[in-house]
């Protein structure tokens, strides 16, 4: 914890001045004329000042007035003994402005000027000379007091400013510590979110690739069992199973490495979607056609991978649930977005408020993760239509 501002140079100087302005003329006076009363008054004035300043009582307004009155009386008595003590006047002027309240300080200056003029041992002066001396002393003392008061005010302002700066610095340090704690919390949450996002990505990849491939393999094996009497047809089924197994093994490896889907590895999105549609047609026997509108162009890998996965999942849902006779896929390239529509003439269903089933949820998550829009249109007996709209982010 930082301490407040220390005493200024002025705070260290003004308490010392009375010692100098009283002891120096006292020494000179005693060397010229040894007098016990001069020594006693000098020791009293110095002791009184030291007591009041050292104890800090002089900081109280009422005590400060008493202190100044007693000190001024002692100085007046010394001036009456020897005019050398007139040099103690400036010290009294400074003390008035250093310890007395503002308006009391000017009263102290006037009193000091009056004491110095009236107590000085010079009986030959006329009243006019005394008045003139008093006015000059008061003017000089006021000028000195103004300078002293200005210095004191600046000193107080500096103390306040330093205190405010220290307080602000402490607040900034506290804010910096709080920000460091918040940053640590944000980093922790970001790591947790990254782990969760990676788990969801792996779940989608496994569902969209391995799970679909295994489902297709099971379907082909079941069909082959029904065609055991037809060796040629069974062999075709087994060849399809072998191809599906190899493809899904490749997809599993690519998912683990977070690479692009295999159909996109060496071709653009329209060709990759066409390849998926052709493979699905051969496996299920239901025709799936693709039409492309607009100028096809390379897009960001995430955009192309998302649309391809949506096409794969939509076709998988048709195979499992729709009992459709045909499927139509449309890939539309527009200025700002690219849209994939998948429509079938199957059994249809009644969509709920949010898509149910992991396949539909996975498609929606993929699309919305890229700030896209995913819509489902279906009704019992009227087929199903899926639409995925994603910003057409160009390829790097």
DSSP result, 246-313? HHHHHHHHHHHHT---GGGSSS-HHHHHHHHHHHHHHHH---EEEEEES----B-HHHHHHHHHHHHH
- According to DSSP, residue 225 is labeled H
Return mean pLDDT, the chain: 77
User: Of 2-6, 18-22, 96-100, 333-337, which range is least confident?
Assistant: 2-6
Maximum separation of any 2 CA atoms in the chain, in Å? 154
Residue 107 has pLDDT above 80, yes or no: no
71: nearest Cα among 118, 112, 12: 112
Can you give the pLDDT at residue 2? 45
pLDDT for residue 219 is more than 50: yes
Determine the pLDDT at residue 293. 95
According to DSSP, the β-strands at 288-293 and 327-333 are: parallel
pLDDT digits (tens, 9 = 90+) for 336-374: 999 999 999 998 888 875 556 677 888 898 898 888 999
pLDDT digits (tens, 9 = 90+) for 259-275: 456 567 656 899 999 99
Which of 125, 112, 36, 43 is closest to 79 using CA atoms?
Answer: 112
pLDDT in tens, 74-90: 888 888 888 778 778 77
Decide if pLDDT at 213 tops 90.
no
DSSP strand pairing (373-378 vs 288-293): unpaired
Please list the residue range(s) of the chain that carry CATH number 3.30.565.10. Answer: 286-396
Grade residue 1 by pLDDT with cuts at 50, 70 and 90: very low
Mean pLDDT confidence for 244-255: 67
Q: Could you tell me where the beta strands, DSSP code E, fall in the chain? A: 288-293, 327-333, 337-344, 373-378, 384-391
What are 28-82's pLDDT values in tens digits? 888 888 888 888 888 888 888 888 887 877 778 888 888 888 888 888 888 888 8
User: Which class is 286-396 in CATH?
Assistant: alpha beta
Highest-pLDDT range among 6-20, 134-148, 189-203: 6-20
Range from 6-15, 264-273, 302-311 carrying the lowest mean pLDDT: 6-15
Residue 196 has pLDDT above 90, yes or no: no
- What pLDDT is attached to residue 90? 76
């Amino acid at each position: 914890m930082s301490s407040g501002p220390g005493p200024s140079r002025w705070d260290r100087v003004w308490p010392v001045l009375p010692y100098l302005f009283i002891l120096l003329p006292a020494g000179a006076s005693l060397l010229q004329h040894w007098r016990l009363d001069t020594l006693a008054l000098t020791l009293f004035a110095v002791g009184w000042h030291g007591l009041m300043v050292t104890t800090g009582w002089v900081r109280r307004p009422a005590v400060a007035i008493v202190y100044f009155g007693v000190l001024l009386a002692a100085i007046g008595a010394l001036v009456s003994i020897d005019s050398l003590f007139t040099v103690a006047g400036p010290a009294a002027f400074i003390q008035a402005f250093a310890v007395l309240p503002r308006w009391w300080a000017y009263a102290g200056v006037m009193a000091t000027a009056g004491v110095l003029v009236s107590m000085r041992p010079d009986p030959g002066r006329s009243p006019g000379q005394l008045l003139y001396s008093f006015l000059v002393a008061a003017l000089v003392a006021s000028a000195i007091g103004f300078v002293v008061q200005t210095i004191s005010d600046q000193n107080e302002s500096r103390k306040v400013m330093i205190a405010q700066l220290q307080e602000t610095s402490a607040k900034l340090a506290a804010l910096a510590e709080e920000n460091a704690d918040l940053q640590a919390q944000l980093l922790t949450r970001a790591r947790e979110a990254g782990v969760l996002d990676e788990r969801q990505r792996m779940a989608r990849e496994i569902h969209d690739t391995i799970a679909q491939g295994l489902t297709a393999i099971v379907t082909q094996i079941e069909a082959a069992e029904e065609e055991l009497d037809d060796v040629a047809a069974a062999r075709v089924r087994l060849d399809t199973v072998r191809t599906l197994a190899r493809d899904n093994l490749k997809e599993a490896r690519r998912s683990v490495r977070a690479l692009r889907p295999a159909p996109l590895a060496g071709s653009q999105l329209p060709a990759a979607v066409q390849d998926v549609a052709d493979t699905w047609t051969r496996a299920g026997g239901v025709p799936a056609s693709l039409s492309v509108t607009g100028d096809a162009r390379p897009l960001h890998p995430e955009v192309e991978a998302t649309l391809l996965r949506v096409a794969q999942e939509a076709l998988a849902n048709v195979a499992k649930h729709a009992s459709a006779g045909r499927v139509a896929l449309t890939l539309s390239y527009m200025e700002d977005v690219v849209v994939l529509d998948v429509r079938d003439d199957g059994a249809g269903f009644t969509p709920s408020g949010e898509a149910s089933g992991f396949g539909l949820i996975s498609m929606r998550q993929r699309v919305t993760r890229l700030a896209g829009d995913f819509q489902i249109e279906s009704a019992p007996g009227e087929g199903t239509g899926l639409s995925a709209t994603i910003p057409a982010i160009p390829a790097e």
